[in-house]
């Protein structure tokens, strides 16, 4: 049914245009949110500039929406708009990679695995999934080549050629290992606190190097055999194997396997009856607090004469 709808009512150009507009809309926010942190590192003056506010209201909401921004945010918005326009007009591979990397960074920052075991299970499942859809069918390669949206990274095979031919790397091959490496970074911080060690990141550093080696191996095999390769075939053994080997060298294997991230527990609140706030004049409050209480004279007591009993 979906195939009939696609072939009769939706041409490839319209679907491609719709996906491009959708990803460019999300790409504006992704690039702006990613680049603003670069601006904070480059120019602290822009980071601490005056914060301004802009409020607007939507017809279906009663409350006003407030947007706070400073000069660093304005610069990041301009850079994001330039990147979006550059990609829309030229489809240049550099503009494509800027938007794709911004998607990857935001994906890693927003997704958390929760535990090391969950990360290993997820990587193991995607390891089999990636191998099947690349070697077993041509669906993955066809989808990657059909859509022009910035959902992949492009690398020219030959910079000296008149017309570039590109090697492609899906964003999932960056985000999935990236959230696993981010989990190991948090484990490094937790381990240093637990053992009272100086700040060091052995798991993060080792796994990041292993990921880089696996990525280089993927590109090397791709260029050697001139065929698409499932990147997770090389990245998953590199990341999981490097972290497990590092834990064996540090004698920390059982702690790593049982590691789970602890979320912040909400503070318990006791129900209380609502109290109506009272308006207090600060000037009168000061005057009242400084004055001493004055003793008021007692009111005279009135007594009624007693009647004598008649005998």
In this predicted model, which residue has the larger pLDDT, 62 or 88?
88
Tally of CA atoms within 13 A in the half-sphere of 177 that contains its CB: 28
Q: So which residues are the catalytic ones? A: 130, 173
Where is mean pLDDT largest: 135-144, 175-184, 220-229?
175-184
Cα separation, 85 vs 98, whole angstroms:
12
Predicted local confidence at residue 271, as pLDDT:
42
Predicted local confidence at residue 167, as pLDDT:
81
pLDDT in tens, 168-190: 888 989 999 999 999 999 999 99
In this predicted model, which residue has the larger pLDDT, 85 or 197?
85
Read out DSSP for the chain? -HHHHHHHH--HHHHHHHHHHHHHHHHHHHHHHHHHHHHHHH-HHHHTSPPEEEEEE-TT-SSEEEEEE-HHHHHHHHHHHHHHHHHHHH--HHHHHHHHHHHHHHHHHH----BHHHHHHHHHHHHHHHHIIIII-SHHHHHHHH--SS-EEEEES-TTSSS--EEEEETHHHHHHHHHHHHHHHHHHHHHHHHT--S--HHHHHHHHHHHHHHHHHHHHHHHHTS---THHHHHHHHHHHHHHHHHHHT-HHHHHT-BPPPPPPPP-------------HHHHHHHHHSPPPPPPPPPPP-PPPPPPP-
Asked whether residue 207 carries a pLDDT value surpassing 70, the answer given is yes
Residue 218 near residue 224, CB atoms below 8 Å: no
Cα separation, 239 vs 213, whole angstroms:
10
Predicted local confidence at residue 30, as pLDDT:
94
Predicted local confidence at residue 60, as pLDDT:
77
Which of 153-167, 199-213, 266-280 is predicted least confidently? 266-280
Asked whether residue 270 carries a pLDDT value surpassing 70, the answer given is no
Whole-number average pLDDT of the chain: 80
Which is it for strands 152-156 and 52-57: parallel, antiparallel or unpaired?
Answer: unpaired
pLDDT in tens, 72-110: 999 999 999 999 999 999 888 999 999 999 999 999 999
Predicted local confidence at residue 10, as pLDDT:
61
Asked whether residue 287 carries a pLDDT value surpassing 60, the answer given is no
pTM over 0.95? The answer is no
Share of the chain above pLDDT 90, in %: 41
């Amino acid at each position: 049914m979906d195939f009939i709808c696609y072939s009769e009512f939706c041409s490839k150009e319209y679907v491609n245009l719709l996906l491009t507009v959708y990803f460019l809309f999300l790409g504006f926010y992704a690039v702006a949110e990613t680049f603003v942190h670069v601006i904070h590192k480059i120019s602290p003056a822009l980071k601490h500039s005056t914060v301004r506010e802009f409020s607007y209201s939507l017809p279906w909401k009663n409350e006003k929406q407030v947007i706070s921004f400073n000069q660093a945010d304005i610069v990041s918005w301009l850079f994001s708009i330039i990147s979006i326009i550059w990609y829309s007009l030229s489809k240049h591979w550099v503009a494509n990679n800027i938007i794709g990397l911004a998607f990857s960074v935001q994906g890693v920052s927003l997704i958390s695995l929760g535990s090391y075991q969950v990360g290993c299970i997820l990587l193991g499942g995607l390891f089999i999934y990636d191998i099947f859809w690349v070697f077993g069918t041509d669906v993955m390669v066809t989808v990657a080549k059909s859509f022009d949206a910035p959902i992949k990274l492009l690398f020219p095979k030959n910079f000296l050629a008149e017309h570039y031919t590109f090697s492609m790397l899906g964003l999932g091959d960056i985000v999935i290992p990236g959230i696993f490496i981010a989990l190991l970074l948090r484990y490094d911080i937790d381990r240093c606190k637990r053992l009272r060690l100086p700040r060091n990141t052995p798991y993060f550093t080792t796994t990041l190097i292993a990921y880089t080696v696996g990525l280089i191996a993927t590109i090397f095999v791709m260029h050697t055999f001139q065929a698409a390769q499932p990147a997770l075939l090389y990245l998953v053994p590199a990341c999981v194997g490097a972290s497990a080997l590092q834990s064996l060298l540090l004698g920390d294997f059982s702690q790593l396997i049982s590691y789970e991230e602890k979320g912040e527990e909400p503070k318990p609140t006791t129900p209380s009856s609502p109290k109506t706030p009272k308006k207090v004049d600060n000037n009168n409050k000061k005057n009242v607090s400084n004055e001493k209480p004055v003793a008021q004279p007692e009111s005279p007591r009135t007594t009624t004469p007693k009647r004598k009993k008649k005998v």
